[in-house]
A and B are shown apart, each in its own frame.
Chain A
């Protein structure tokens, strides 16, 4: 399954990747190859199998509703490149 350049560009944009024209071609064909590999699964007859998103599904472990494991602002911000007050400061996002 050959992806069009348009599709590769779209996927790259969704992942916030800036690709050079060179990379577009290279990654485009790699992506297509990956999809082909996954597509080989469709050779299996799954008509009798319900769609499965999780295997070995069990009732999940549920947590008691209590406050635990709060870091506090100081620890939360310890690795932040830039801080203002107790907020993460980032390049301005204009809505």
Chain B
């Protein structure tokens, strides 16, 4: 079991696309899709004589991320040029932050299978994305729609020790970025991408081994696979008396292997220097502080509060905070209804079901928290029965009409008056004299049949509790 003698060490670099409508340094749009090169400007084409102008929103989102991940947000950060020749990079350099990134330090806290984990961040910096190449049979095709799209690169310290933890870290990071509205969390479309630095060392060692950087990890499953495959490869080299070479390796999910990207090897001389086109980004302490105050409560804190303060089961708290819009709506409904558990039940049951079935976004629901609370009150006051309430809710969800109106229109008001209830009970008893005898003879369970019969006569709208009370009274007489 040679692999068991070794400890895997993992550091992750995440590239997260910032949710801006235009690019980092120009007004070209960032929407996904569209014909190749439709979303380009003179700046993203790298035409001579053009000047980059920084997108204000990208800066705001970067600061927000820094606060959410407990970084130090720098009052001064700088832009550098990173040079390499490749057809997806028209200028011949990428504008990025090198020596002085916008965020330094920070951490991501997440709950792994064996408890709370904290992974330190080295830095977060802003940079522009490159374009896309498609290799056809005869030519390579260049699409610059993505060129210049704003990215955050979030670099972790080599604090992770298993592929599973790496995946948990990434999920937690993605959840936070999506929650604060910085990133859409979409791995398939490439708006959340990850490179992994992997090395191995013998257990008990204090020196890290030589690391390899893994690329092309575009799903959580691939990330886990790639790390494990690469760790095994490195252990085998060391066990055979060899040395791991520091290099960039491409993960091939079809073959289940990582392989060297030799073409990148001599490209590592990037000749960074400060970009003379862009002055340093200066932020006042007030500006940084303002953004901190605007930061919403984060999912982990909210989950904890749902359990501690609202008394919800951990499971409920987890489901309700898996989506920001859902959680925000829940908060507003609880505020109106004055209690949490019934709201949670409706959200996890009927609301989730209807959202799924109708493929509706939580942000687009038609009802207001006031209307929702009114429905809960109607149930509590016995105005509508449990099954009736589900019908009302479905209509409320579909139309956003007031529950009281729906109850009236659909004739769903619960029959609570003793008059009609007693009438139906008398009929039901008259129709089944044998059952009455049976009940009086001690077979009290048969009351269920009477409740059913009475309910049927009332079109399902009778108050079941009151029917039970009145029936018991009459049958005993």
Contacts and interface: CB of A to CB of B under 8 A. Distances in A.
Contacts of B41: 69-71
B150 to A, nearest CB: 10
Interface string B29-43: 100000111111110
A87 B40 contact: no
A93 B135 contact: yes
Contacts of A54: 78, 274, 276, 279-280
Interface stretch (B19-27, B220-228, B330-338, B421-429): B19-27
State the main secondary structure of chain A at its contact with B.
loop
B213 to A, nearest CB: 16
Nearest to A62: B56
State the main secondary structure of chain B at its contact with A.
loop
Interface residues of B, number: 51
Contact of A60 (B20, B57, B266, B281): B281
A61 to B, nearest CB: 6
Nearest to A70: B28
A77 B37 contact: yes
A93 B55 contact: no
A64 B263 contact: no
Which of A16, A61, A65 is most buried by chain B, counting CB atoms within 10 A of its CB? Answer: A65
B297 interface: no
A91 to B, nearest CB: 7
Nearest to B43: A69
Nearest to B269: A14
Interface in A39-95: 53-54, 57-73, 76-77, 82, 84-95
A66 B280 CA distance: 22
Contacts of A68: 22, 27
Interface string B377-418: 000000000000000000000000000000000000000000
B68 interface: no
A67 B278 contact: no
A53 B274 contact: yes
Interface residues of A, number: 38
Nearest to A87: B141
Nearest to B132: A87
A89 B140 CA distance: 6
Contacts of B310: none
Contacts of A57: 279-280, 282
Given A65-B20, A70-B40, A70-B41, A92 B56 contact: no
B136 interface: yes
Contacts of B263: 95
- Give me the 5 closest cross-chain CB pairs, A-B, nearest first: A65-B57, A68-B27, A87-B141, A53-B274, A62-B56
Interface of B: 20-22, 26-29, 35-42, 45, 53-59, 78, 83, 85-87, 133-136, 138-144, 261, 263, 266, 269, 271, 274, 276, 278-282
28 contacts: A10-B269, A14-B271, A53-B280, A54-B280, A59-B279, A59-B281, A60-B53, A60-B282, A61-B53, A62-B55, A63-B53, A63-B55, A67-B22, A69-B26, A69-B27, A71-B28, A73-B40, A85-B141, A87-B37, A87-B134, A87-B141, A87-B142, A87-B143, A88-B141, A93-B86, A93-B135, A95-B135, A95-B263
